[in-house]
């Protein structure tokens, strides 16, 4: 039996991230006594989990309303946000009532933004159901939706009351999604906790999926994880370590000065891929390529050794994640990068490494260096 691990996030409004198994009863028990109503935001594939949580909440005497939203990034739109507001308004939600986000990163982003904007802020409890959401989207208080101009350009910082990472739900995920989520775990290893990298390197065969190389596309299919105890134990350790990295960073910097920006390692180029691909790539796959791009840029800038760049490629490709991107899309990618939240005016800014565990900011690099880094990760094949 796996013992739950509790990771405190010591922000101005402290909360705890719990990593364990079979946590839905704890989720229901964590709803504040002051609440009379709960809005559960989720997507159709999780209907059985929503029904189970619905019963547990009703047993506490709470009025439960469910907002079923489109799955994945299709749910992070202004239209879906307005739908959730309408549900809240028709159900007479007050400032003491709460929102629960049960789903992947898109659902937790949306639910957090719904909570941040209703009556200028109500409580939110996050129940991430993907590895990516557990280690990234659900922790840290960043919420938002996408627009036609880019990803997460509209949002708010709104810290949750608690976060519950139930590793048993990972059994239902396609192995592609497990592997994609591991990209954010590996990111935490590169920026702060090298032990994560060593654990991954020692368990590549256990963690990767045999068909994961085809898993960049968000609409790809694959077998479900069906984790054995050894894999679950390794993943639980990695989730705990990755959450700890994020907890340490956001506790010191909630609203994204440079310290918080280190969590975006690989994301400037990764988000550009997502935008260029119209969000048809998995986030983790795009970030994987983005980290290799950032490593190549750091090497060209004299900050990272060739061996350290190769370690990026070895770990990420060893998991089955992509490490290259077609070489004929530079103009579209550059336009997308100029929309990145870290950009100031026309000045591109990147998080790079000056050695493993030492992230630094690279502002306004020579355009020739940026294009050379792109050339280094280009495969010149159709997407």
Helix or strand or coil: residue 235?
A: helix
Q: What are the helix (H) ranges across 4-66?
A: 24-29, 47-59
Predicted local confidence at residue 225, as pLDDT: 57
| Residue 267 known to bind ligand | yes
The mean per-residue pLDDT over the stretch 277-305 comes to 95
SS3 content of the chain, % helix, strand, coil (to 5): 50, 20, 30
Predicted local confidence at residue 16, as pLDDT: 94
Place 214 in a pLDDT band, splitting at 50, 70 and 90: very low
Predicted local confidence at residue 250, as pLDDT: 86
| Residue 142 known to bind ligand | yes
- Who wins on pLDDT, 35 or 231? 35
Residue 109, judged by CB atoms within 10 A of its CB (0-12, 13-18, 19+), counts as buried
The mean per-residue pLDDT over the stretch 1-17 comes to 84
| Residue 77 known to bind ligand | no
Cα–Cα nearest to 23, from 139, 179, 128, 173: 128
Does position 383 have pLDDT exceeding 70, yes or no?
no
Q: CA-to-CA distance for 197 and 100, rounded, in angstroms? A: 33
pLDDT in tens, 124-173: 999 999 999 999 877 888 899 988 877 788 999 999 999 999 998 988 88
Predicted local confidence at residue 212, as pLDDT: 44
Place 213 in a pLDDT band, splitting at 50, 70 and 90: very low
Helix or strand or coil: residue 352?
A: strand
Return the active site residues: 120, 142, 184, 246, 256, 260, 264, 267, 271, 283
Structure tokens, 364: 């306004």
Q: CA-to-CA distance for 157 and 94, rounded, in angstroms? A: 20
The mean per-residue pLDDT over the stretch 240-259 comes to 82
Predicted local confidence at residue 345, as pLDDT: 55
Does position 223 have pLDDT exceeding 80, yes or no?
no
| Residue 156 known to bind ligand | no
Does position 302 have pLDDT exceeding 60, yes or no?
yes
Residue 273: C-alpha distances to residues 146, 194, 197, 203 (Å): 15, 27, 24, 28
Structure tokens, 4: 């739950």
Helix orientation angle between 367-377 and 283-300, rounded to the nearest 10 degrees: 130
Predicted local confidence at residue 90, as pLDDT: 96
Predicted local confidence at residue 259, as pLDDT: 77
| Residue 107 known to bind ligand | yes
The mean per-residue pLDDT over the stretch 254-263 comes to 74
Report the percent of the chain where pLDDT is more than 70: 90
| Residue 129 known to bind ligand | yes
**What CATH class has 5-171?**
alpha beta
**Mean pLDDT over each residue of the chain, to the nearest integer:** 90
CATH no. for 174-212+255-377 = 1.20.1090.10
Predicted local confidence at residue 150, as pLDDT: 74
| Residue 149 known to bind ligand | no
Structure tokens, 203: 């368990």
Q: CA-to-CA distance for 194 and 174, rounded, in angstroms? A: 27
| Residue 221 known to bind ligand | no
Do 300 and 308 touch, CB atoms closer than 8 A? no
- Who wins on pLDDT, 10 or 341? 10
Angle (nearest 5°) at CA 73 between 267 and 96: 100
| Residue 105 known to bind ligand | yes
Place 379 in a pLDDT band, splitting at 50, 70 and 90: confident
For the chain, the structural domain boundaries read: 5-171, 174-212+255-377
In DSSP terms, which residues pair with 38 in a beta bridge? 64, 98
| Residue 75 known to bind ligand | yes
Q: CA-to-CA distance for 347 and 363, rounded, in angstroms? A: 7
| Residue 283 known to bind ligand | yes
Structure tokens, 271: 């988000």
pLDDT in tens, 55-81: 999 999 999 999 999 988 889 999 999
The mean per-residue pLDDT over the stretch 343-356 comes to 84
């Amino acid at each position: 039996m796996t013992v739950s691990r509790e990771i405190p996030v010591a922000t101005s409004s402290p909360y705890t991230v719990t990593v364990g198994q079979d946590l839905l009863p704890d989720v229901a028990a964590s709803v504040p006594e002051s609440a009379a109503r709960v809005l559960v935001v989720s997507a159709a594939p999780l209907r059985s989990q929503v029904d189970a949580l619905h019963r547990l909440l009703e047993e506490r005497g709470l009025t439960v309303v469910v907002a079923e939203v489109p799955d994945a990034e299709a749910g992070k739109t202004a239209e879906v946000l307005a739908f959730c507001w309408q549900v809240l308004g028709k159900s007479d939600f007050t400032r003491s009532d709460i929102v629960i986000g049960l789903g992947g990163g898109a659902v937790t982003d949306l639910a957090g933004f719904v909570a941040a904007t209703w009556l200028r802020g109500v409580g939110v409890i996050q129940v991430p159901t993907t590895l990516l959401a557990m280690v990234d989207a659900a922790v840290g208080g960043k919420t938002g939706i996408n627009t036609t101009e880019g990803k997460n350009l509209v949002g708010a910082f709104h810290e949750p009351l608690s976060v519950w990472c139930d590793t048993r739900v990972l059994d239902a995920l396609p192995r592609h999604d497990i592997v994609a989520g591991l990209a954010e775990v590996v990111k935490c290893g590169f920026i702060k906790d090298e032990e994560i990298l060593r654990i991954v390197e020692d368990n590549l065969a256990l963690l990767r999926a045999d068909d994961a190389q085809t898993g960049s596309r968000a609409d790809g299919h694959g077998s479900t994880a069906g984790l054995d105890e050894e894999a679950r134990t390794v993943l639980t350790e990695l989730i705990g370590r990755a959450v700890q990295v994020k907890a340490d960073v956001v506790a010191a910097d909630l609203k994204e000065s440079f310290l918080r920006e280190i969590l975006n390692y690989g994301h400037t180029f990764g988000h550009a891929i997502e935008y260029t691909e119209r969000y048809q790539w998995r986030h983790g796959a795009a970030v994987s390529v983005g980290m290799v791009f950032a490593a190549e840029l750091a090497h060209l800038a004299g900050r990272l050794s060739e061996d350290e760049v190769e370690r990026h490629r070895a770990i990420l490709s060893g998991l089955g994640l992509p490490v290259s991107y077609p070489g004929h899309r530079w103009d579209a990618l550059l336009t997308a990068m100029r929309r990145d939240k870290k950009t100031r005016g026309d000045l591109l800014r990147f998080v790079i490494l000056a050695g493993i565990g030492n992230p630094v900011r690279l502002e306004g690099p020579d355009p020739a260096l940026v294009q050379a880094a792109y050339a280094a990760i280009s495969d010149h094949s159709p997407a």
